Homo-oligomer: A and B are copies of this chain.
Amino acid sequence: MDSRGLIEAYWRAANARDWDAFGLLLHPEVVYEVPQTRERVRGREDYLEFNRTWPGDWRAEVVELMVDGAKGLSVIDFQVDGESMTGISLFETSGGLVTRITDWWPSPYDPPQRMTSRIERY
């Protein structure tokens, strides 16, 4: 399975709560990091538990998927309990398994003061 197929299978298994299939995509030493909170989860078992216990009736819709060799990146629309969040996940893979995930959750904020007026809001 190439990186694209691996990431597609990852989100498919997550959405299906098929944790056996999900676990088969992970390297035993997988590392998951959230740079914004400086949280880290190490190893397949703990990362499975982290996902299995994620609260709410959530669903991840992949809106962007890029691959570059052994790396891949997805942008998801993460829908949970009527809310929508954006998740950006950088995947590193080896031998057809996910070895590292770096996960960002950019949230809305008010625009800063800009030095030009050539900006519109949408």
Residues of A within 8 A of B (CB): 33-42, 46, 49-50, 53-55, 64, 66-68, 71, 73, 75, 86, 88, 90, 104-111, 114-116, 118-122
- Decide: A53 and B115 in contact? CB cutoff 8 A: yes
Within 8 Å CB of A39, what residues of B?
111, 119-122
Whether the pair A119, B73 counts as a contact (CB closer than 8 A) is: no
Identity of the chain B residue whose Cβ is nearest the Cβ of A54 in the assembled complex: B115
Q: Shortest beta-carbon distance, A57 to chain B, in Å?
A: 14
CB closest residue in chain B, given A103: B106
Contact B88 A36 (CB under 8 A): no
A120: shortest Cβ distance to chain B, in Å?
A: 5
Residue on B nearest A109 in the bound complex, by CB? B36
Task: Chain B residues near A42: list those with CB within 8 A.
Answer: 120
